[in-house]
Amino acid sequence: MSPAPAIEVKGLRKSYGAFEAVRGVDLVVPVGGVFALLGPNGAGKTTTVEILEGYRSRSAGEVEVLGIDPAEGGTALRSRIGIVLQECAIDPYLTVREVLAQRAAYYPAPRPVSEVVGLVGLDAEVRKRVKVLSGGQQRRLDLALALVGDPELIFLDEPTTGFDPGARRAAWEVISSLGALGKTILLTTHYMDEAQHLADSVAVLSAGRVVALGPPGSLGGRDRAAHQVRFSLPGPLGAQLPQLDPPARRGDREGEVLVMTTNPTATLHALTGWALGRGVELEGLEVTRPTLEDVYLELTADPDPVGAPRAAAAGATSRGPAGSGRAVRIPRRPRR
C-alpha cells in the first residue's frame, strides 16, 4: 500500500459570492520534497493554499492535510505545519530573537532559535528590532518563522520575493535541504527558475483550474518539444546552408538563422560540417528547448480553459498572446 500523501484535494471549489475562484481542483502532494503551485495573478493559488492551511472555508470538495480536514484541524494541525506568508503582521518592536522564540513556543518540539537564524542567514540581525530589517531580511525572518517549529509540512508563499540573488540561492539551499530531510514543502511562486530549481512536481492553476501537472522538466511536453538551434551568419551565406528537414529559417534578430529539430545531433553535425568546410563561424551558436516559463506562458495564455489538465500535451501550441486575460494583482491581506 502506498503511504498516505501529505495533501489530498478532490473537487475543491470556492466561491466568493457569485464568483467562483476555485473550480474543481484535484491535487495529491506526496510526503517529502517540494511541490510548486504556479499560476497567474488571480488564478486561485492563495485561496487554495489558505483552505489547505485552515484559514479559509471551502464551498465544496474534500481536503486532507496530514490526514486531517483543515476545516476541523485546529491546533492539532497547526502544530504540524509551518507557514511563510507574503506579508504577515509581526510586532515591529520585538527583536528577531524574540519573534522567533515567541513562535517556537507554539510548537511541541521547536528548533533552537540560534540554529534557525543560522539557516536563513540572520545571525547578525538576531538582536535587531524587526522594524529596522531590510525587505529581504524581513522575508528571511518569514522563512525562519516557518522553520522554527520544525513542522512536517511547510507552506511557502513566494518566499524569495525581494531577495538579492545571493540570498535567493541561499534560501533555495535551505528549502532543498528541508525537502531532502523528508519535509513536505508546498511552494507558491511566480519565479519559474525557482520552480525549475526546487520543485519535484508542479501544478499550474489558471482561472481556478489545474491546467497542467507534472515534473518541471516534462511539463506540457517540454521534454518532447523540438530543440531550437540558433546562430548568426553574415548576409549572403544563409542562402548556401545545407538542406535540412525542416529547413532553416530566419530568426528574430538581423542575420540570425533558426532551425527547429527533433534530432539536434544530426542537425549540428550537418551545420558544423558545412561551416568547417567553408571556414565559417556559426556565431552565437546555441541549442535550446522551451523553458518552463515558455510552457507556463502557453498554458496560462487562455484565461478560462475548459477541460482536463494538459499534463500529456505534446509540445506547445500557439493559443493567442501570452499574458492576455490576466487578473489584476490583489494586495495580500495580513493575516496575523
Contact at 8 Å (CB) between 232 and 286? no
The DSSP 8-state label assigned to residue 127 in this structure reads: T
The size of the interface with ligand ATP (CB under 6 A), counted in residues, is 13
In angstroms, what CA-CA distances link 104 with 12, 37, 97, 163? 32, 27, 10, 24
CB of 308 or CB of 327, closer to ligand ATP: 327
Q: How far is residue 12's CA from residue 27's CA, in Å, rounded to a whole number?
A: 9
Question: According to the binding rule CB under 6 A, does residue 204 interact with ligand ATP?
Answer: no
CB of 224 or CB of 329, closer to ligand ATP: 329
If 0-12 CB within 10 Å is exposed, 13-18 middle and 19+ buried, where does residue 7 land?
buried
CB of 47 or CB of 184, closer to ligand ATP: 47
Question: According to the binding rule CB under 6 A, does residue 46 interact with ligand ATP?
Answer: yes
In angstroms, what CA-CA distances link 127 with 33, 93, 114, 117, 133? 33, 11, 11, 11, 11
Q: How far is residue 201's CA from residue 188's CA, in Å, rounded to a whole number?
A: 12
CB of 103 or CB of 209, closer to ligand ATP: 209
CB of 5 or CB of 44, closer to ligand ATP: 44
Q: How far is residue 274's CA from residue 279's CA, in Å, rounded to a whole number?
A: 9
Single out the residue of 329, 334, 335, 336 in contact with ligand ATP (rule: CB under 6 A): 329
Question: According to the binding rule CB under 6 A, does residue 179 interact with ligand ATP?
Answer: no
CB of 161 or CB of 176, closer to ligand ATP: 161
Question: According to the binding rule CB under 6 A, does residue 330 interact with ligand ATP?
Answer: yes
Question: According to the binding rule CB under 6 A, does residue 131 interact with ligand ATP?
Answer: no
Single out the residue of 11, 16, 92, 314 in contact with ligand ATP (rule: CB under 6 A): 16
If 0-12 CB within 10 Å is exposed, 13-18 middle and 19+ buried, where does residue 165 land?
exposed
x/- map, 26-45, ligand ATP, by CB under 6 A? -------------x-xxxxx
- Region of 89-97, 111-119, 308-316, 327-335 interacting with ligand ATP (CB under 6 A): 327-335
Question: According to the binding rule CB under 6 A, does residue 290 interact with ligand ATP?
Answer: no
Question: According to the binding rule CB under 6 A, does residue 21 interact with ligand ATP?
Answer: yes
Q: How far is the CB of 46 from ligand ATP (least distance, A)?
A: 3
Q: How far is residue 102's CA from residue 130's CA, in Å, rounded to a whole number?
A: 13
Question: According to the binding rule CB under 6 A, does residue 47 interact with ligand ATP?
Answer: yes
For the sheet with 81-84, list strands across it: 81-84, 153-157, 184-188, 33-38, 201-206, 209-214
Cis-peptide, bond into residue 216, ω within 30° of zero: no
CB of 46 or CB of 184, closer to ligand ATP: 46
Residue facing ligand ATP at closest CB distance: 46
Contact at 8 Å (CB) between 51 and 27? no
Q: How far is the CB of 112 from ligand ATP (least distance, A)?
A: 33
Please state whether beta strands 249-250 and 256-261 pair in parallel, antiparallel, or not at all (unpaired).
Answer: antiparallel
Q: Which residues bind ligand ATP (CB under 6 A)?
A: 16, 21, 39, 41-47, 327, 329-330
